[in-house]
């Protein structure tokens, strides 16, 4: 069955339009609670709710709380917390479901809802379909004697900080590293600085003063330009950037060069392989640079590609029984440490490799020779309509013919925004750019 509301990463859209409205979110909370109650009517159920720092989070937190309570489900409110923190705390609190109010790397005027299961994993298709089906039923409150209670958990940040630190080897310290940390004015603003400082790092922290509107604004993992300049100006060893909800990681080496998710995935997996700790192989996506695939082949590391999206990467990891996967955007999954993509945990993995090998971030990726890639995002009102357009399909075939066997083309609709994403990869960077711009012109 096709889904009406859920996309590749929960439910997302612009606040006040479409379905991202208070009445829809209240009904969504009731639907989630009712699905839980009907699955086991005799049990008490608890849901935890966290959010990032965008202004609409207050509104939707209240709406979800009211909906869940009206279904007879108890609520624990965590306040601003990274998405992976909700995955961890759902397990720690033995909650039935964890809910994150966030639109990840999107601007403040977007928002969304993500769900984690009791195991700290994204909920499955069956659960999403059950929730959508419940949205069609009339909202019926439980008797007032059975309404759910809401409690605010004040020590949630401390619990997650200690968890993150526990993933870094006790034998190592960050005391010799000077780092610039970009919190994207998002959910890591009061978490990440404590983690790295308590492990000994010298920090220059930027974009850690969220005001409800500046989340992801010219900062964080999607806009690391300022971070690159600061790392060089400060003479820092490296820079770390998260996105608004803390599940993406991009780093910067001491020369001011961006080290993207593909390179970070290579560093983590290669080190695990050298330590005989890599269980099986590595999962990337259709977007993973071909140079990464070649580097894994040379190292004797199995590599397969999933569809774009951390949900698909996770599914393939589970299918293969492997531990490490990720995307160039910075979604990195390390199942030996946690149950979902976690920017802070992934950063600690990289820092541990740096400390153990006494090498710079720049040196660790020297063996990785990536092919030039051109990435374009084209705003459209109806991505699916564009993809089905005959003129555009013809242009795609012509582009593939121009690339021949020496390049790759991937055109897809974004799963989180109204965009057509174009990726062209090949040895000739100028040709890549020209072909991508030609496709963009056809769209426009």
Q: What is the mean pLDDT of residues 96-116?
A: 97
Domain 160-364 matches domain 373-443 at the CATH topology level: no
The CATH class that applies to domain 373-443 reads alpha beta
User: Quick check: 295 pLDDT over 70?
Assistant: yes
Q: Which residues are catalytic?
A: 104
**Is the Cβ–Cβ distance between 416 and 104 less than 8 Å?**
yes
The string of pLDDT tens digits covering residues 200-244 is: 999 999 999 999 999 999 999 999 999 999 999 999 999 999 999
Phi and psi (nearest 5°) for 336? -75, -15
The residue among 248, 261, 223, 286 whose CA lies nearest residue 412 is 286
Q: Percent of the chain at pLDDT above 70?
A: 100
Q: Residue 423: is it exposed, middle or buried by C-beta count within 10 angstroms (0-12/13-18/19+)?
A: buried
Whole-number pLDDT of residue 386: 86
The two tokens of residue 91 are: 């397990």
Question: 282-285 and 303-306 as β-strands: parallel, antiparallel, unpaired?
Answer: parallel
Q: What is the pLDDT of residue 2?
A: 82
pLDDT at 292 over 80: yes
CA–CA dist 317, 230 (Å, integer): 36
Residue 427 pLDDT exceeds 90: no
The answer on pLDDT for 245 being more than 90 is: yes
| pLDDT of 439 higher than 70 | yes
Reported as a single tens digit per residue, the pLDDT across 345-389 is 999 999 999 999 999 999 999 889 999 989 999 988 888 888 888
pLDDT digits (tens, 9 = 90+) for 26-54: 999 999 999 999 998 878 999 999 999 99
Name the CATH superfamily for 11-154. Answer: Alpha-D-Glucose-1,6-Bisphosphate, subunit A, domain 3 (3.40.120.10)
**For residue 1, is pLDDT > 70?**
no
Task: Give the tens place of pLDDT for each residue, 151-192.
Answer: 999 999 999 999 999 999 999 999 999 999 999 999 999 999
Residue appearing with tokens 């299918």: 319
Tens-place pLDDT, residues 64-83: 999 999 999 999 999 999 99
Mean pLDDT value across the chain = 95
- Name, in order, each residue with C-beta under 8 angstroms of 20's C-beta and a sequence gap of 6 or more: 11, 12, 13, 14, 56, 110, 111, 112
**Average pLDDT for 4-31:** 94
Beta bridge partners of 239: 180, 252
User: In terms of CATH architecture, what is 160-364?
Assistant: 3-Layer(aba) Sandwich (3.40)
Give me Rg for the CA atoms of the chain.
Answer: 22
Alpha carbon distances (Å) from 280 to 219, 234, 277: 36, 40, 9
User: What tokens were used for 24?
Assistant: 């829809």
Stated pTM of the model: 0.92
**Segments making up each domain of the chain, as ranges:** 11-154, 160-364, 373-443
């Amino acid at each position: 069955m096709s889904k009406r509301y859920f996309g590749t990463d929960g439910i997302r859209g612009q606040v006040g339009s479409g379905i991202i409205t208070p009445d829809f979110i209240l009904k969504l909370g009731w639907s989630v609670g009712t699905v839980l109650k009907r699955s086991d009517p005799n049990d008490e159920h608890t849901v935890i709710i966290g959010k990032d720092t965008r202004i609409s989070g207050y509104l939707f937190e209240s709406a979800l709380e009211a909906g869940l309570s009206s279904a007879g489900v108890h609520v624990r409110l965590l306040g601003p917390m990274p998405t992976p923190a909700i995955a961890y705390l759902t397990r720690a609190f033995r909650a039935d479901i964890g809910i994150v109010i966030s639109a990840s790397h999107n601007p403040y005027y977007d928002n969304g809802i993500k769900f984690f299961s009791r195991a700290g994993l994204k909920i499955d298709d069956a659960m999403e379909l059950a929730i959508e089906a419940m949205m069609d039923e009339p909202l019926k409150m439980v008797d007032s004697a059975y309404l759910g209670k809401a409690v605010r958990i004040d020590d949630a940040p401390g619990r997650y900080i200690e968890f993150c630190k526990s993933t870094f080897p006790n034998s190592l310290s960050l005391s010799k590293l000077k780092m610039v940390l970009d919190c994207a004015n998002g959910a890591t603003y009061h978490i990440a600085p404590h983690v790295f400082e308590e492990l000994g790092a010298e920090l220059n922290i930027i974009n850690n003063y969220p005001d409800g509107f500046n989340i992801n604004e010219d900062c964080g993992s999607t806009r690391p330009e300022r971070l690159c300049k600061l790392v060089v100006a400060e003479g820092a060893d490296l820079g770390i950037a998260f996105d608004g909800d803390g599940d993406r990681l991009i780093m910067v080496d001491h020369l001011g060069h961006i080290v993207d998710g593909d390179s970070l995935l290579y560093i983590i997996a290669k080190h695990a392989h050298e330590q005989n700790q890599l269980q099986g192989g590595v999962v990337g996506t259709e977007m993973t640079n071909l140079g990464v695939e070649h580097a894994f082949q040379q190292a004797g590391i199995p590599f397969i590609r999933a569809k774009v999206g951390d949900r698909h990467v996770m599914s393939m990891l589970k299918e293969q029984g492997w531990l490490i996967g990720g995307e160039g955007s910075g979604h990195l999954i390390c199942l030996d440490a946690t149950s979902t993509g976690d920017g802070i945990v992934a950063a600690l993995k990289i820092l541990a490799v740096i400390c153990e090998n006494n090498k710079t971030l720049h040196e660790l990726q020297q063996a990785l020779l990536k092919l030039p890639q051109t990435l374009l995002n084209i705003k459209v009102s109806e991505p699916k309509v564009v993809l089905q357009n005959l003129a555009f399909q013809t242009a795609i075939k012509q582009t593939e013919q121009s690339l021949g066997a020496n390049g790759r083309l991937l055109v897809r609709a974004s799963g989180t925004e109204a965009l057509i994403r174009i990726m062209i990869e090949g040895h000739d960077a100028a040709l890549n750019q020209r072909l991508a711009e030609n496709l963009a012109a056809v769209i426009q």
